[in-house]
Structures are given as C-alpha cells and as structure tokens.
C-alpha cells in the first residue's frame, strides 16, 4: 500500500511511545483534550463576569488545548486515510479501553456496570 509521504506510525513527532498503538494513542489524546476543553469552558462561564485575569488565563489554556487536539486529529486522520489501523499487539491506552461515550451517567447499550465483574446496584433484580 502506498502511503504518499505519510510518516509511518511511531515516526511522527506527535506519535506516542513505540509500545503504544499510534491510532489508539491519538484517540486518547483527543479524548483527554476534549475533557479539558469542556473544563475550561465551564471555568470561563464561572469567571467571565468577575475575574478578568483568570478569564484570560483560561482562554489561553482553552486555545492551547484546542490546538493540541486539532494536531492529534490531523495526524489521526492522515494515518486512517493512509490505511493504517489499530495494532492490537501494542498497548491501548486505558483511557479509551473502557470509556463511556454516551451521555453522563448513561451506560452504553449492552453494558452493565463499569469494570469486568462489576454491576450496578439492582442489576440482579432485573
């Protein structure tokens, strides 16, 4: 497969350590950035009317984190479009192994409980 000038996984400056799968690593970085972006947004809502110095710092954090997320999204996109996929022989970041992509407090369909072997209260009665 021709990868048209795309650096192979693990050779780009934004790629993670070699033992971590590059696709999953970028997904984890994007996920973490989105969580931080939401936190900065909440902080800005709280601070915007009262604390202009802190608001300016939060805007800077929000900008930097957004730029980081976009860099990882760009690298992830180029890898996927070049035909690369998850390498299951490499480590998958824990942050994306069991992440609930639904709304807060909602369990993904077909899943009960958080970790393997755990259930929510009342599951036995269902």
Q: Is residue 102 part of a domain?
A: no
Q: Is residue 63 part of a domain?
A: yes
The fraction of the chain above a pLDDT of 70, given in percent, is 74
User: 76-102 pLDDT, tens per residue?
Assistant: 999 999 999 998 899 888 888 775 555
User: Can you give the residue range of the structural domain that contains 72?
Assistant: 24-95
pTM strictly above 0.75 = no
- Structural domain count of the chain: 1
In this predicted model, which residue has the larger pLDDT, 107 or 29? 29
Q: Is residue 114 part of a domain?
A: no
Q: Does residue 35 surpass a pLDDT of 50?
A: yes
Q: CA-CA-CA-CA torsion for 106, 107, 108, 114, nearest 10 degrees?
A: 140
Query: Per-residue confidence at 110, pLDDT binned at 50, 70, 90?
Result: very low
């Amino acid at each position: 497969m021709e990868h048209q000038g795309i650096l192979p996984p693990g050779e780009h400056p934004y790629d993670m350590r070699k033992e971590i799968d590059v696709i999953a690593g970028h997904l984890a970085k994007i996920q973490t950035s989105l969580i931080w972006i939401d936190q900065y947004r909440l902080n800005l809502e709280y601070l915007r009317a009262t604390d202009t110095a802190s608001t300016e710092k939060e805007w800077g954090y929000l900008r930097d984190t957004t730029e980081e997320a976009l860099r990882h999204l760009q690298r992830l996109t180029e890898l996927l479009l070049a035909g690369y996929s998850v390498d299951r022989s490499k480590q998958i970041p824990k942050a994306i192994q069991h992440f609930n992509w639904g709304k807060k407090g909602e369990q993904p369909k077909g899943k009960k409980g958080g970790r393997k072997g755990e259930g929510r209260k009342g599951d036995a009665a269902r």
